[in-house]
Structure 1
Amino acid sequence: MNIKLLKQLRTSVVLTGLLAGAMTISACQQQSDTEAGTAADAHAEEVPMSAEPAEPTDVVVDPQDTSNEVENDTAASVNTGTSQISYRCSPELQVEATYNEDNNQVTVATDMGTVTLRKNNEGSNPEVFEVATAIDGSEGLTQWRVAHEERETGVMRTAGADESDINTFECNEVS
């Protein structure tokens, strides 16, 4: 949701609250206030106000009414096809993996860089994700393999332009 829609929603909620408060206060009054200072009113007996509303204040909301401007402000989307898992790897490396199930991708973020890899196999154990770019964005390759259905363990393989010099990291999920 963007900031403009949030501000409109906040304004709508505040105005609705103020209107409801004004209606509540006005519903509790039995009679209108009269002008002070007349001789006839000076000797009249005061009647205490009742806590009961003078008229029913039931609010009826039509769920089929789509003319409300707030309807567009409350639209939200939930990204259910993603999950994020943190890994600690050996040799020392911290990996944040964000899996996008809908696109068969994983975005791997490390202190060396961030790269998005595409799944290139049909299997689920291990799942293999690859991209023809080094983890720092330069020429090379990055491969991420995760095992088990819960993706508890992973292996990252990275190489620069010289693909014969491969760095391998063994990773375990941080719980």
Structure 2
Amino acid sequence: MNLGQLKQLRTTAFMTGLLASAITISACQQQQEPEPSLEDSINAEESVPMSADPADPSDTVVETDDASLNEVEDDTVANVNTGLTQMTYLCSPELKVEATYKDETNQVVIGTDKGTVTLAQTNEGSNPEVFEVASAMDGGEGFTQWRVAHEERETGVMRTAGADESNVNTYECKTNK
């Protein structure tokens, strides 16, 4: 081999190496993928998992048979709450009293955080009205008394005791208007 061919071979080898390097480098570079267009999204079919269970029926059943009066009257109970008055009192020492007056039966239902009792009226007067029951507020042994004054039942006094009736708790109450 002569010197001219050797230079030409060296140039060819150099150029081939350079071309191979360029191809390798371009192959390793990350290229951006084109973003999917709206048409591609529309044409793509999405797979939706299916259940083997049947769908719930959406049919509405309407009963058209009218019940007779005899069938209805056995199942129907109507209460008319006339003569009921509900009032809230704030008492000292601190106590909240919910009172439901049943004027027709001369009773009052007293509810507190200590319990609920139904008291019967023990006097004929209307000022003060006196209600009593032979049990404590928690339903145990003792007594509870409720005295309410004024025509509007604006103020009240509650006395209650447990089994030890000598230890009486007294609360002075006013309506929460």
Is 1:138 aligned to 2:140, yes or no? yes
The residue aligned with 2:110 is 108
Closer, same or farther: CA 131–76 of 1 in aligned 2, 3 Å: closer
String of CA shifts for 1:142-172, please: whole Å, max 9, x gaps: 0000000110000000001111110000000
Residue 81 of structure 1 and its aligned partner are, at CA, apart by 1.4
Q: How many residues align?
A: 113
Moved over 4 A (4+): 71-76
TM-score normalised by structure 2 residue count: 0.57
Q: Distance in 2 between matches of 1:149 and 1:92?
A: 25
Following superposition of structure 1 onto structure 2, how do residues 65-84 of structure 1 map, counting pairs within 5 Å? 76-84=78-86
The residue aligned with 1:147 is 149
Q: CA RMSD in A?
A: 2.3
Report the structure number with the largest CA radius of gyration: 2
Structure 1 unaligned spans of 5+: 1-10, 16-66
Closer, same or farther: CA 68–137 of 1 in aligned 2, 3 Å: closer
Q: Distance in 2 between matches of 1:118 and 1:106?
A: 7
Following superposition of structure 1 onto structure 2, how do residues 1-175 of structure 1 map, counting pairs within 5 Å? 76-175=78-177
Identical counterparts, % of pairs: 67
String of CA shifts for 1:35-81, please: whole Å, max 9, x gaps: xxxxxxxxxxxxxxxxxxxxxxxxxxxxxxxx889x96998542111
